[in-house]
Amino acid sequence: MDLNAELIALLNIKPISNHVYSLIELGANPDTLNHNGYSLLHLLVLNNQIEDAYYLIKNHKVNVNVKDKRGFTPLYYMLNESYTPESIIQMIRLGASPLIRNRKGQAPIHYLLQNYHFSYTLQLLEVHPESSGLSSQDGCPLELMLNNRHRQKYTADNYLTIVRCGANPSTRDAFGSTLLSIILNTASFDKAEELVALSKIHPSDRLYFKPEYIDLFITEDGISDLICNLREKKYKSREIAYLARYPSSKERVIETIKNLDSEQQKEILKECLDPSSQLNAFFAVPRGWFKTSNERGTLLQIKQLSDQIESTDTHQSIEKQYYCLF
């Protein structure tokens, strides 16, 4: 018995019969194309039966990215037929590729940015942050935001979210204005500092670099807070790695330690050299083409600083004993 042939026969008839689901449960391939080259999922989308489409995806082994005879997926038609942003995002959550383009060459992120509130773009970025780097004939997502900012009001946090997802922080609008200059003119200086800090982080790490991590490097007492948090073992190993890879983070911690009194220095340096401490883990994170170790890098500077303080203490102790003799 050819179940697929039976399914094709039903797919050629309007309206779609509920018997198609029975055939699929019996073993028919749900991705089978009818004589017009459409699968059941395509037909449901084209007939605005989106809830039935969701049911099909959730309850049967249907390929959400199935292609019709022209090579188009169901999401392609949704982007062209002005489906609601909620339905587009739901389809993507169910597995539809965010790389699909409509006839204008727009991926879902471009379509959402140009037509709807930024909150929908945020929902998409939660699932596929890599969408922030997709280009279109109108530019990348951040360019679209900068060029449309007078029509759709974006906050500095909206821009920073896109950058955190991997967008180029040096992006300019059509008139040559940089993102930094726009933030300086429309938001607080703190947001500009956050943008500059994000620009120093590798794009693949930015997404995991939470705003509270950024604060450690742009606020007055941030480095001191970082040292305290490491001493109190507040971070997970992955978080320590991100913090240690921030440019000059280790050097700034060392400078902060140097500005403490000798007793505090000795106490903290002892922890830095203790393999069980988070301070030691922080300085041991590889940050270049070589692996940081006791023999090189900032961990060596820590050891040298510790030896220097110990030598000074020994010298002072000898001097004190010498003067006591007289």
Check pLDDT > 80 for residue 156. Answer: yes
Q: What angle do CA 157, 163, 165 make, to 5 degrees?
A: 105
Quick one: CA dihedral 289, 294, 296, 297, positive or negative?
Answer: positive
Question: Token match 């604060």: residue?
Answer: 215
**The pLDDT value given to residue 22:** 87
Check pLDDT > 50 for residue 294. Answer: no
Residue 13, classed as helix, strand or coil, is: coil
C-alpha to C-alpha distance for 64 and 56, rounded to whole angstroms: 9
**The pLDDT value given to residue 230:** 97
pLDDT tens for each residue of 204-242: 889 988 889 999 999 999 999 999 999 999 999 999 999
Quick one: CA dihedral 252, 204, 119, 140, positive or negative?
Answer: positive
Question: What is the identity of the amino acid at 139?
Answer: G
**The pLDDT value given to residue 312:** 61
Q: Does residue 15 have a cis bond before it (omega within 30 degrees)?
A: yes
Share of the chain above pLDDT 70, in %: 92
pLDDT tens for each residue of 40-69: 999 999 999 999 999 999 999 899 999 999
Max Cα distance, the chain (Å): 113
Please check whether residue 278 is in contact with residue 240, taking contact to mean a CB–CB distance below 8 angstroms.
Answer: yes
Domains of the chain by range and CATH? 1-97 (1.25.40.20), 105-207 (1.25.40), 219-326 (no CATH)
Question: Token match 């596929």: residue?
Answer: 128
pLDDT tens for each residue of 61-83: 899 999 999 999 999 999 999 89
Distances (CA, A) of 203 to 130, 167, 182: 10, 8, 21
Give 14's Cβ-side CA count (13 Å radius).
6
Please check whether residue 299 is in contact with residue 293, taking contact to mean a CB–CB distance below 8 angstroms.
Answer: yes
The size of the chain, in residues, is: 326
Q: What is the mean pLDDT of the chain?
A: 90
C-alpha to C-alpha distance for 236 and 110, rounded to whole angstroms: 36
**The pLDDT value given to residue 288:** 57
**The pLDDT value given to residue 292:** 43
**Beta-carbon count within 10 A of 163 CB:** 22
Question: Token match 């395509």: residue?
Answer: 42
**Beta-carbon count within 10 A of 240 CB:** 21
Q: What is the secondary structure of 249-275 as a DSSP string? A: HHHHHHHHHHTS-HHHHHHHHHHHT-T
C-alpha to C-alpha distance for 163 and 293, rounded to whole angstroms: 33
Distances (CA, A) of 324 to 28, 30, 311, 318, 319: 99, 95, 20, 10, 9
Q: Round to the nearest angstrom and report the end-to-end CA distance of the chain.
A: 112
